[in-house]
């Protein structure tokens, strides 16, 4: 059977899914300035996004046999469009409760994002191929391409038409997933039945422990990737004092394009994922550390962008590693991996938002501001970046333990 259109649909899904992840953070400052939404509540939107995805992941992890997976794949882009549309119409539908409207829209398109994370990767893995690892890396590289496109289009749109017209921008992105829906509805779907080991055969205990360790790796990798992807726009503008348009293009957009390019390079030339994961964790920790302590705005901006390169393979690389060590994993295994990734993406950005708010109003920030010439908010932002350094550092340990486990155990 010819699955070329199916692959194209999967690739399109990852490009369009970027709008659900990349657009809201670009509007954080707009929501803060126009509607008075606090940074803690903005962090809550990020938390809600990933907690909703986590809920979807867990449901499919334990109850996948009760769902028509092929049907879910085909309707998920339509759900994305509905969620973004409600997001866009929030000022009309909820004029006195902007945050409530944003929350409802976030929940809806997050359901689709959760379905996409769980179902698209196993669809690609189930399609016959000479190198599934490279296919997986290319698939995830397209998320970076989509994120880069969203950032550039959004930056130019807001610069030309003004941030007060953000709703129209959101409606534009709400239209694109409908193309993906048409592609899926006219494409054949491969069989995604798991292997006997993953169903609970003789090696089920080793399989379970190995999968749990892989989930830990994707959790810390997701923490490192998603904190920067969600907060780089606000950090560059408020902590570094760089113009939003310039900062979004040189910082946030470069983060996305480096993330995409690195994944494409691995898809073309990659052979061993383990050293790539170690280098990614180490590099991410260094980037967060530099962003948090550097007094030079250009250096801090570069570190924000380079985080995209170092974190690029932490999520898809964990999936590739899992597929190599646990071949024949089904939808439930991918759902558990997505759960780990979404949990990390929920906790870390929210934690940074809390740290920024708490530190900003603290006496510590006030005293340090008088000594350094920085504002209390800048100190709060930098403190959040420093805190995030912990996640990739722990990730290095988790990865080392996982690699050692699979060397000792033959699954």
Tens of pLDDT, residues 301-342: 899 999 999 999 999 899 989 988 887 667 788 888 988 888
**Which of residues 377 and 223 earns the better pLDDT score?**
223
Q: What is the dihedral of CA 12, 173, 111, 316, to 10 degrees?
A: 40
DSSP conformation class of 195: P
Determine phi and psi for 194, rounding to 5 degrees. -70, 165
Residue range 210-218: mean pLDDT, rounded = 94
Q: Would you say 227 and 388 are in contact if contact means Cβ atoms under 8 Å apart?
A: yes
Give me the pLDDT at residue 202, please: 44
**Average pLDDT for the chain:** 86
Residues 145-172 as b/e (b if ≥16 CB within 10 A, e otherwise) read bbbbbbbbbbbebbeeeebeebeebbee
Cα(195)–Cα(271) distance, integer angstroms: 24
pTM over 0.85: no
What is the average pLDDT across 28-39? Answer: 84
Q: Check residue 410 and give its pLDDT.
A: 62
- How far is CA 230 from its chain centroid? 8
Distance CA 176, CA 173 (A): 6
Q: CA angle, corner 281, sides to 276 and 285, nearest 5?
A: 145
Average pLDDT of the residues in 48-63: 82
Q: What structural domains and CATH numbers belong to the chain?
A: 4-408 (1.20.1250.20)
Per the CB < 8 A criterion, the answer to whether 107 and 88 are in contact is no
């Amino acid at each position: 059977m010819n699955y070329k259109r199916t692959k194209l649909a999967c690739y399109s899904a990852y490009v369009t899914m970027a709008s659900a992840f990349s657009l809201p953070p670009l509007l954080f400052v707009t929501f803060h300035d126009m509607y008075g939404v606090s940074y803690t509540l903005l962090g809550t939107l990020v938390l809600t996004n990933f907690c909703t995805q986590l809920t979807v992941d867990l449901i499919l992890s334990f109850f996948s046999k009760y769902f028509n997976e092929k049907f879910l794949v085909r309707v998920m882009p339509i759900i994305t469009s509905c969620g973004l549309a409600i997001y866009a119409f929030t000022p009309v539908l909820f004029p006195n409760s902007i945050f409530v409207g944003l929350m409802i829209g976030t929940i809806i398109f997050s359901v689709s994002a959760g379905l996409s994370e769980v179902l698209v990767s196993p669809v690609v893995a189930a399609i016959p191929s000479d190198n599934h690892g490279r296919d997986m890396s290319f698939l995830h590289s397209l998320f970076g391409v989509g994120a880069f496109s969203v950032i550039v289009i959004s930056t130019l749109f807001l610069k030309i038409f003004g941030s007060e017209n953000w709703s129209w921008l959101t409606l534009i992105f709400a239209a694109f997933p409908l193309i993906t829906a048409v592609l899926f509805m006219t494409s054949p779907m491969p069989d995604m039945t798991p292997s006997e080991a993953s169903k609970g055969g003789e090696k089920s205990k080793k399989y379970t422990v190995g999968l749990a360790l892989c989930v830990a790796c994707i959790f810390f990798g997701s923490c490192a990737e998603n904190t920067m992807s969600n907060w780089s726009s606000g950090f560059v503008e408020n902590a570094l004092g760089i113009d939003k348009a310039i900062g979004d293009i040189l910082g946030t957009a470069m983060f996305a394009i480096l993330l995409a390019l690195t994944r494409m390079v691995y898809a073309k030339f990659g052979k061993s994922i383990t050293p790539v994961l170690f280098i990614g964790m180490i590099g991410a920790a260094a980037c967060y550390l530099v962003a948090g302590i550097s007094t030079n705005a250009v250096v801090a901006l570069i570190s924000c962008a380079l985080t995209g390169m170092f974190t690029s393979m932490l999520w898809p690389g964990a999936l590739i590693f899992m597929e190599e060590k646990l071949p024949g994993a089904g939808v439930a295994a991918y759902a558990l991996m997505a759960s780990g990734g979404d949990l990390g993406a929920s906790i870390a950005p929210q934690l940074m938002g809390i740290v920024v708010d708490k530190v900003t109003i603290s006496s510590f920030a006030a005293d340090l501001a008088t000594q350094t010439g920085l504002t209390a908010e800048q100190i709060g932002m930098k403190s959040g970046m420093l805190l995030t350094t912990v996640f990739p550092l722990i990730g290095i340990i988790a990865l080392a333990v996982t690699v050692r486990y699979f060397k000792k155990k033959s699954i």
